[in-house]
Amino acid sequence: MTRLLFLAALAAALFSGGATQSAAPAQPQASAPERQIVPIPDGNLSAEQLKKLGEEGWQLESIAEGAAIFTRKPLTTRAISGSGVQIERLDDLGVVVLRGDSGRTQQIARLLGRLERTAPKSSPGLDALVQERLETLRQLVRFAEEAFRSGSAGYNSLIEAQNALIAAELESATRRTERIALLRKHVENLKRLEEIAASQQQAGQNTLADLLWAKAARLEAEIALGRENQSP
């Protein structure tokens, strides 16, 4: 079974709540070769027709008088127990087709998209660079925080350093729970920064622009967290 077909089957099983102990495993079934005759009274097929046929796996076999004959190689069909969905593999196109109730197939497709997401391929050399970048950005944030407390750097410098670090951390995170935890921490950091900006603005120690920059950064982080929480 190919990786994509396996993931589609797994997505269907997850949607249906998982196979029960008494459920028989899905068995692949070879479909008979298909043939389709497409009338072409004017002797031509539109680009839209050809595209649709190609997407469905049809290949032109021959053209007779007033008609074009298309064939499609046998499909591998797998019914997923409890899901009401069939999975068909189009080997030539390298795709998997889900057939069944539209609501369920859409749900399974979304799950399949989540399962197909994998961490970027890595190598020892690349991993070392990623870790070096993370450590460099953490040092930058510590330096920016110290400079901010001493008054030698403003809000923008600290916010830019924090945003660069969170972007690198999110890129390295392979689990959704990790990304959510990182974003929550980022939101809390920016909330504290906004509170400092508000306090200093009331005391006349900074400008309204400083407060608005801090607020905008916090809102951006909260939006990112909300989107991550809502992602399928």
Structure tokens that stand for 15 in this block: 């949607």
The structure tokens 């009401």 sit at: 84
pLDDT tens digit string along 98-139? 666 666 666 656 655 554 454 456 677 888 899 999 999 999
pLDDT at 10 over 70: no
pLDDT tens digit string along 146-196? 999 998 888 889 999 999 999 999 998 888 899 999 999 999 999 999 999
Interatomic CA distance for residues 182 and 173, integer angstroms:
9
- Give Cα 184 to chain centroid, integer Å: 20
